[in-house]
C-alpha cells in the first residue's frame, strides 16, 4: 500500500468515526430535550435556513413530504416549531422555530463548540481552508448519496440470489 493509499484509508476510517460520533452526539442531545435525532436536525435546518414550507423542509432533510407533516406536528406539539402564514403565497404555510425553545438547546453545544474552537488552533489558515473545503464538499457528496438512496433504492438493493 502506498503512503497515499494508506492516508486515504485512514481518512475514510476517520470520516466513518466522525459520522458515528455525530449521530450519537445528536441523538443524545435530542433526547435531553425530548426530541428524536430527526426532529433535532429538522430544527437545525430551520434555524440555519429560516422558515421553510413543508416541501422545502422535506427536500433539505431528504425526507418524504408525507413524513414531514408528522414531523412538524410533533415539533409543534413539543413547542419547538409552529406553522405561520406564508407571506409570499397565501395558500401555503411556513414552518418556523420557536426561538425561546431553541435557546434551551444552545447551552448543550457549549462544551463541544469550545473544544472545536481549541482544536482549530492546531491548524494554520491554509490547512484550515483545506479542512473547510473538504468538509463542505464531503457534506455535498453525502447529500447526493442520500438522494441516490432515496430516488433509486433498487440500485443499492442487496443481491437476492
Q: How far is CA 13 from CA 7, 82, 138, 149, in A?
A: 10, 40, 14, 21
CATH number of this structure's domain 3-121: 1.10.10.10
Please name the residues in contact with 50: beta carbons below 8 A apart, sequence gap of 6 or more: 96
Q: What is the separation, in whole angstroms, between the first and last Cα of the chain?
A: 33
3: helix, strand or coil: helix
| Closest by Cα among 8, 22, 42, 21 to 134 | 8
Tell me the pTM. Answer: 0.81
Each domain of the chain, given as residue ranges in start order, spans: 3-121
Q: Which residue has 433526547 as its cell numbers?
A: 31
| Residue 93 φ then ψ, to 5° | -125, 160
- The pLDDT tens digits of the residues spanning 34-84 come to 999 999 999 999 999 999 999 999 999 988 888 999 999 999 999 999 999
Amino acid at each position: 500500500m502506498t503512503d497515499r493509499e494508506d492516508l486515504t484509508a485512514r481518512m475514510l476510517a476517520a470520516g466513518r468515526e466522525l459520522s458515528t460520533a455525530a449521530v450519537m452526539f445528536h441523538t443524545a442531545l435530542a433526547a435531553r430535550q425530548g426530541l428524536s435525532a430527526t426532529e433535532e436536525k429538522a430544527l437545525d435546518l430551520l434555524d440555519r435556513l429560516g422558515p421553510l414550507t413543508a416541501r422545502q423542509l422535506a427536500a433539505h432533510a431528504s425526507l418524504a413530504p408525507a413524513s414531514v407533516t408528522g414531523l412538524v406536528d410533533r415539533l409543534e406539539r413539543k413547542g419547538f416549531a409552529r406553522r405561520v402564514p406564508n407571506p409570499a403565497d397565501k395558500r401555503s404555510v411556513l414552518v418556523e422555530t420557536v426561538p425561546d425553545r431553541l435557546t434551551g438547546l444552545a447551552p448543550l453545544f457549549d462544551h463541544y463548540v469550545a473544544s472545536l474552537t481549541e482544536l482549530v488552533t492546531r491548524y494554520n489558515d491554509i490547512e484550515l481552508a483545506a479542512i473547510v473545503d473538504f468538509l463542505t464538499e464531503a457534506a455535498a457528496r453525502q447529500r447526493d448519496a442520500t438522494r441516490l438512496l432515496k430516488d433509486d433504492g433498487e440500485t443499492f438493493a442487496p443481491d437476492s440470489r
